[in-house]
Amino acid sequence: MRVSLEWLREYVEVDVSLETLVERLHSIGLPVEQVERVGDDTVLDIELTANRPDCMSVLGVAREVALLLDRRLRPPVPKAAARPSAAAPRAAVEIADPEGCPRFTARVIEGVRVGPSPAHVQRRLEASGIRAINNVVDVTNYVMLELGQPMHAFDDDRIAGHRLVVRRASPGETLVTLDGVSRTLDGEMLVVADAEHAVGMAGIIGGADAEIGPATTTVLLEAAYWNPRSIGRTARHLGIRTEASARFERGTDPAGPPLAQDRAAALLQQWGAARVLRRMVDVYPGRLRRPAIRLRPTRTAAVLGIDIPKDTMVRILRALGCTVADGAPLRVRAPSFRPDLVREEDLIEEIARIHGYDRIPLTMPRGDTTPGTLVPVLLKDARIRETLARSGLTEVLTLTLEPAEAAAQGGIPPVVLQNPLVADQAALRTSLLPGLLDVLSGNASRRVEDVQVFELGRVFRAAQNARPAEQRSLGIAVMGRWRTGWNIPTDQAAADFFHLKGILEALLRDLGVREWQVAPLGPQDPWTGAERPWWHPARAAVLIVAGRVVGRFGELHADLSAARRLPHRAYVAEVDLESLLPMVVLVGAAPELPRYPAVERDIAVVSPDHLPAAAIEESIRAGAGPLLEALDLFDVYTGPPVPSGHRNLAYRLRLRDRDRTLTAEEAEEIIQRVRIGLQENVGVQLRE
């Protein structure tokens, strides 16, 4: 907000140096970003937060300065002459959507002589960053900057039926706006229309059909209060941001339109630009009244850590424009120009802001304290990050929004935004994999070919007649070498399917998941039922825990790898954390070391190539029972004398009883049960 110091002094006495004024404004949350000399004037460029629309005017800033310097505020008091006849016969107003437009005012001004504005008005407008056009347009901008109430001026002779209607646009309706652009509207947008068609985008920009021109002799001035959400949505959808929309979408003063009408009419009369004024039409179907807020002085003292006298609180609040009813507690009604004051904490903040943050003493915390802790889900997230970092992966963050075609790539209907800011961010992601592939290809394009990354994030699923469902997910992507060194052969350094599988198994062990299975990934995705788009037809698998598929992993499909121009084979995984984490058991302390020795035995089997190793391992575990502590596949062999189409798998079993030492006979009995189970249940050949 650019504020002319000359203009500011018209409403409040500023008898301190510029440096002191800037410092004091900063102390109450109105930091001055830049001080600029414009001719004989000084302009303060003040940074405003979204919750202070009242300061988007010279009068609003003057109100704050008057509080700071303990000076009297001198607001403008417009006195516009008016003819006795009412405006209704010449200008009629209808509000078809009271929710979108709670209040609308209109005033007809006759005998208008369009010409340049007074020199001082042009200087103030240009110092504020607005180009002077003519006296009628300039008066609307001048009042907007002065009072914070945007206005619009129509050529009344170009308003069909001399009637304005506030309504929703018809789907597909078009409007040529003042910037010469033809815009297509939808049914959610508010427009100001005459008896035939739309003549302006409500609260944003006027239409070219009723523009003020040199031949204009009768002006219809409009000032309204608009629903902030409606204006903000329309402005974003159409890609327009005007001085008016910036104020309306933050929330203007519902009591402001009549004051702005009187001020604009008085200025036009004062400048000699109009000689006949009619009375104002004010359509206000449901009056907006601010509810009373309870303010407890004891609560204020507890929050701020300082005792401020109640009289001081009352004085500050009344100076801010609040009405205060004394009592215990105080009952405070915020002024209509402060939409941000809605609860007790807001009033306490205002008291602290004006009283001075620097006057609140530094104190040590008192009372009982509770040590901080993390909820279980965050503890599990921390364990996942720690394990994957130890495995050599780097955490990344990718965008939640992506192109709609990318979101639909996994066979899941995407959640498409109604008003995306850009086309490439039109849908919520249904998978973490597109973002991780962007990371791989982005690094590869910069000649970084060895990439090992993971991401913890949320994916989204569309729901019928409900908000999209959010699901927590883990994505992993590896490409190139996962370890380097002069003593490491190249063929042992590249990441492969088993490297990714080992990362997932290490993660499950660290999460306390005791049993899991790995099975081939079929032609359809187990989560969506659609054809799997990501993985290689023969080098992909699913991760099964407690009979439920919780993850998919494997080599990236060659077509996707080529489309991304990846220099090496890439391996990706996605884990559904919503399904996995309920099965996680985090162990806080290290397990007790075993007191009795283990017995190790080896078993070798010859199995067909098509038989999954998981089926053999499942049979071994079932036969060995609870005394099996570990099962390791330590050798895989193909070739003579193993028959063609078969392979030799060698397993090492570690058996241990926690309460005593196993005897050789007991161990042999267990191994014999395992052998019988393998022959009867799996049908493999045992080797001695």
Residues 658-680: tens digit of each pLDDT: 899 999 999 999 999 999 999 88
How far is 119 from 480, CA to CA, in rounded Å? 70
At residue 227, does pLDDT exceed 90?
yes
Q: Are 124 and 7 in contact (CB under 8 A)?
A: yes
| Ligand-binding site membership of 350 (annotated) | yes
- The mean per-residue pLDDT over the stretch 112-124 comes to 95
CATH classification code of 2-69: 3.30.56.10
pLDDT of residue 86: 47
Domain with CATH 3.30.56.10 in the chain: 2-69, 293-359
Look at residue 87 and tell me whether its pLDDT is greater than 50.
Answer: no
Nearest to 174 by CA among 162, 163, 159, 189: 189
Residue range 509-515: mean pLDDT, rounded: 87
- Tell me the pLDDT band of 485, cut-offs 50, 70 and 90: low
Residue 634: pLDDT above 50? Answer: yes
Q: What is the CATH number of domain 293-359?
A: 3.30.56.10
Max avg pLDDT among 61-70, 76-85, 606-615: 61-70
pLDDT computed for residue 344 by the predictor: 95
Q: Is the pLDDT of residue 411 over 50?
A: yes
| pLDDT 10s digits, 384-401 | 999 999 999 999 999 988
For 349-359, what is the mean pLDDT?
91
* CATH (residue range 599-687): 3.30.70.380
**Euclidean distance between CA atoms 152 and 37, whole angstroms:** 30
Q: What is the mean pLDDT of residues 497-514?
A: 90
* Residue of 670, 565, 662, 547 lying closest to 620 (CA atoms): 670
- Residue 407: the pLDDT is 62
- Amino acid identity at 392: G
Give pLDDT, residue 80. Answer: 57
Residues 76-86 have a mean pLDDT of 62
340 is in an annotated binding site: yes
Mean pLDDT of 585-600: 82
pLDDT exceeds cutoff 80 at 423 = no
* Stretch 193-216: mean pLDDT: 93
**pLDDT above 70: residue 577:** yes
- Work out the burial of residue 421: count CB atoms within 10 Å of its CB; fewer than 13 is exposed, 13-18 middle, 19 or more buried: exposed
Q: What is the mean pLDDT of the chain?
A: 89
Mean pLDDT, residues 469-492: 81
Amino acid letter, residue 485? G
Average pLDDT over residues 485-491: 66
The architecture that CATH gives domain 92-283 is: 3-Layer(bba) Sandwich (3.50)
DSSP 554-623: EEEPHHHHHHTT-SS-EEEEEEEHHHHGGG----SSPPPPPSS--EEEEEEEEEETTS-HHHHHHHHHHH
Strands 163-168, 451-461: pairing kind = unpaired
Q: Is 666 assigned to a binding site? A: no
Confidence of residue 688 (pLDDT cuts 50, 70, 90): low
Nearest to 275 by CA among 87, 81, 78, 76: 81
Query: Regarding the domain with residue range 376-583, which homologous superfamily does it belong to in the CATH classification?
Result: Bira Bifunctional Protein; Domain 2 (3.30.930.10)
- Give per-residue pLDDT as tens, 435-464: 999 999 999 999 998 999 999 999 998 877
Is the pLDDT reported for residue 598 higher than 80? yes
Over 60: is that where the pLDDT of 85 sits? no
What does the pLDDT read at residue 88?
A: 47
Beta bridge partner(s), residue 401: 428
Distance, in Å, from the CA atom of 178 to the CA atom of 212, rounded to the nearest integer, reads 10
Sequence-separated (6 or more) residues with CB below 8 Å from residue 65: 8, 12, 14, 21, 25, 71
Position 556 confidence tier, pLDDT thresholds 50, 70, 90: very high
The pLDDT, as a whole number, for residue 527 is: 72
Residue ranges matching CATH 3.50.40.10 in the chain: 92-283
Rounded Cα distance between 664 and 229, Å, is 79
Residue written as token pair 């099996």: 628
**For range 492-520, the mean pLDDT:** 87
Residue range(s) in the chain whose domain bears CATH number 3.30.70.380? 599-687
Average pLDDT of the residues in 226-253: 93
Mean predicted confidence (pLDDT) in 291-318: 92
Reported as a single tens digit per residue, the pLDDT across 127-167 is 999 999 999 999 999 999 999 999 999 999 999 989 999 99
Which residue in the block uniquely carries the two structure tokens 């998978």? Answer: 431
